[in-house]
Structure 1
Amino acid sequence: MNTAGSLTYVYAVTYRTGPLGDSLAGLHGIGRAPLRFLSPTADTTDPAPGTSEAALAFVAGDVPEEDFNEAALKNHFEDLRWLEHVARTHHDVVQAIAARAPVLPLRMATVYQDDHRAGQALSAQRALFTQRLDQLRAHTEYGVKIYLTHDATEPPPVAPAPPASPGKAYLQARRAQRHSRDAVYRQAERAAGTIEAIASRHATQRVRHAPQRGELTGPQENVLNDAYLIPDDQAEQFQAAIADAAGGFPDLRIEVTGPWAPYSFAMPAPGPDDAPEPSP
């Protein structure tokens, strides 16, 4: 039940269980608000008791309407400090659920006017959410990133040109720089192929994200940023194989991140003829 002046903020979809409910009692959401389960709103298509659909639930909490109404969110999305706080809290809640049960993370700042409307949204997409949760059961997301190291991308020093031919010496040095960078990029292409071959033996799904830029990468250049859905019983073999392969690419930094809740796989990617998936 909402408190006065609040909206319902939904973090994730999961299955309602006693142990998870006990864990939620010790967790807090944005603004230290307590968390609760929300069930689908009752309708004529309610599933039979005891089925997985019957246990489906949102994990939700209250947030101040003055901070999360449409106008306020437009302003807050330009406030990096506010965004970082909300994103971190949202992530912490989702990860805590993922450690205990299958979970579908929802987008940050998924809000409804009240619990009843949130329950209606859950009911409308109950079959889709249930199917996806069952597909993700006993799977975890891992990321693999390839970076060109700073030394590999830093151009070699240009030697002083002989007094008689400064133009020729300069052009030779620039050509050497290009050849050096080309060799590193070819190494990155080979590394990407190796990672894809390893993933084909372990991953059930892959999502290719855009390479990161700016402050997220520092002086290194990110050239691959993939997410893989890995069965839990193969996670150690996958990570070990990537670590072993990384030793064969001295001019690259290959990083495995995770385990993560399946942010990249919460909804299946639409095919070329599919309509966009509904969202809460």
Structure 2
Amino acid sequence: MITSDWGDWLPRAIDAADPESVAVWYLGCNGFVVKGSNGTTLFVDPYLGTGDPPRTVRMIPVPFDPADVVDAEAVFATHEHSDHVHGESQAPILESTGAPFVAPDASLAAAREDQGWEDRWDLTDEQFREVSEGDVLEIGEFTVHVVEVNDPDAEHPVGYVFEHDEGTVFHPGDSRPADSFAALGREFDIDLGILAFGTAGMIPDKQTREPTYTKWYNDEGEAVEAASALRLDRLLPSHWDMWKGLTADPTALHEHVASFEHPKRLDLVEIGDRVDL
């Protein structure tokens, strides 16, 4: 059972919102809600857990209880890590809304085999939808393209390009710069691109619990390299707020992006913030 630090104001605000184009809410970590002008509401990598202390320690509030979500057309996972596939965060949304869980094979295995979602929540087989690179989905007013990314720490990561008549959002999970990004930048006019940003730190090893040098996300140079290849209009750095010892200062990106044509704009947001295309 998840208890929110904020009550239910954020899911109520999302449900009541009537965006003129596409609205995007940052949920902290690498979680987002994308809502279109006709009301289609998509969740991507929502994570409301506290980590695995003392190895991973959550540094930000738990913004909502998933049981308070009343509308979702789909919940997407980019890869199988526990802060992207998490039953307590995501299965209650699927149970209450009937939305599908859209994910690559390793993420589905984490949900169904490792975490046993179907044994713990009232979910149907049809709610688990496997996708892979090259797939194209039509969900409400969005066309969703499943694309190749580069997360060396994941078994099978994918990214999602969310196309809408009013603009395009790209969420590549925890990807570093990828060979595919230049082609994606030519194929899609990406209004808002999300890139996981962080630093390196000494994090306890999963088995030995000994402090170990750890780097999970893009540093400043990698973030700019990826944003430039993708030809982003707007770059939104994520994940920098989450784990003790791996937090970072996103304002550092201002100087790094200054001399590049892309991104044209840097959107710095905190947990609970909304941006519009």
Shared fold, TM over 0.5 = no
TM range (shorter): under 0.3
Structure (1 or 2) with the greater strand fraction: 2
The normalised TM-score by structure 1 is 0.24
Looking at CA atoms only, which structure, 1 or 2, has the larger radius of gyration? 1
The normalised TM-score by structure 2 is 0.24
Higher relative contact order (CA 8 A, sep 6+): 1
